[in-house]
A = this chain, B = another copy of it.
Amino acid sequence: MITETELNIGLFGYGVVGKGFYNLIQLHPELAINTQQIVVKHEANHLLDENQNLSYEANIILADTNLKTVVEVINNNNDALAIAKKVLGDGNTLVTANKRMLAENFEELYALLKSNGGKLFYEASSAASIPIIKILDEYFANENIHSVEGILNGTSNYILSGIFNQNLNYNQALKQAQELGFAESDPTLDVEGLDALNKLVIINAHAFGVIVKPTDVFNYGITRIGNDDILYAKNNGFIIKLVAHASVNIQGKLLLYVAPQFVKSSEQLYHVNAENNGVVVNAEFSGEQFYYGKGAGSKPTGAAVLADVISSKKSNGYGYTKLRKQNFIKYDIFQQVKVYVRYNKNIDIDLLELDIEENLSFENSRAVKGKIYLNKLYEYKNWLESNDISVIIFS
């Protein structure tokens, strides 16, 4: 029987993911991973192993020169960034699940990584149990990717599945998701597409070698989807999914968005139900690939963190092959998408400059189908939201 080299780690955070990870390494003593120190913000409500060192002081980990591997699974974005900068600045190893911290600071962290020789792993950040970062970074390192489309947010997918599979309305589906722990009491980050957007930014860096700021990407949530939209979808053989989209056209223009999308039963994403995640990759030589798995939860996310910690023992980190190479792909928001826009009858949507193909009329609202430049949706996002306008993209 082999014996693993012992690894002492510092763990920040003991919430859903932290507990999942901690329980896993207790179940697998043969991995010889010791949580030498755990730092939490507030007194943990849950009993730790009595031999465990629990602290409220970040420096207990960060100033300990013997702790060269840090696992960070906290919620606070600023604290997470401070930890990341310190660990990578010291040339040490960081495993994180914090998608927002990563997405908002990707450029800076990537530069720090290159200059100081630390290691950074974040498989758990993007689709929890689906090893999409590893697959993109390693397997597709040298293959051109045409598109990546994913259902990356379990909460909104759970709600949309309730709407389409159980005929619930939005509020009923949200309530059910909250009762079962698939939605937080304030679900804004999930249902408005911000969580999926952060994941898309991370995935995009590996798939296309382009770092984009989350604030530069159009994202639209699922909260304005109404009964007319649901009926329209059903009558036309669609369901609606919150889709994170990245694709490149033959001119190297990168299209990015997170938005409700009509999905047909012949598409793989159609079959991603409940809290699950799914990612479809279309690549030059491999053709279409589809990856499906649990997108959240204590155990699946904890397992992804553990896989990263184990990788960190022998790997130097991601290859970032596409980021390192000369890249002809550029993010371009001035591209057309085919869209469905439904609005109340008293609203004038001329400012969107739609190229209208079809007009639809409902009892209390009307809708248009047509082409629109994505920058228009981006520019008028606040206006769209405040006028409760439903925007759904055709794939």
Bound-complex Cα distance A319 to B300 (A): 22
Instruction: Give the secondary structure class of A's interface.
Output: mixed
Min distance, Cβ A68 to any Cβ of chain B, angstroms: 20
- Per assembly, the copies of the chain total 2
In the complex with contacts A28-B142, A311-B138, A2-B289 CB distance below 8 A: no
Does A112 interact with chain B (Cβ within 8 Å)? no
Does A285 interact with chain B (Cβ within 8 Å)? yes
Min distance, Cβ A200 to any Cβ of chain B, angstroms: 20
Q: Are A324 and B2 in contact (CB under 8 A)?
A: yes
Q: Are A30 and B129 in contact (CB under 8 A)?
A: no
Encode A281-298 as 1/0 by CB contact (under 8 A) with B.
001111111111110010
Q: Are B300 and A286 in contact (CB under 8 A)?
A: yes
Min distance, Cβ A215 to any Cβ of chain B, angstroms: 29
Bound-complex Cα distance A187 to B346 (A): 65
Bound-complex Cα distance A285 to B300 (A): 5
Does A48 interact with chain B (Cβ within 8 Å)? no
Does A1 interact with chain B (Cβ within 8 Å)? yes
Task: Name A's B-contacting residues (CB within 8 A).
Answer: 1-2, 20, 24, 28, 30-31, 129-131, 134-135, 138-143, 268, 271, 283-294, 297, 299-300, 302-304, 306-307, 310-311, 314, 319, 324-326
Q: A20-B285, A141-B307 are in contact. List 5 more A-B contacts (CB 8 A).
A: A135-B135, A138-B311, A140-B307, A287-B300, A292-B292
Q: Are B293 and A289 in contact (CB under 8 A)?
A: yes
Q: Are A142 and B299 in contact (CB under 8 A)?
A: no
Q: Are B293 and A287 in contact (CB under 8 A)?
A: yes
Q: Which residues of B contact A290 (CB under 8 A)?
A: 290-293
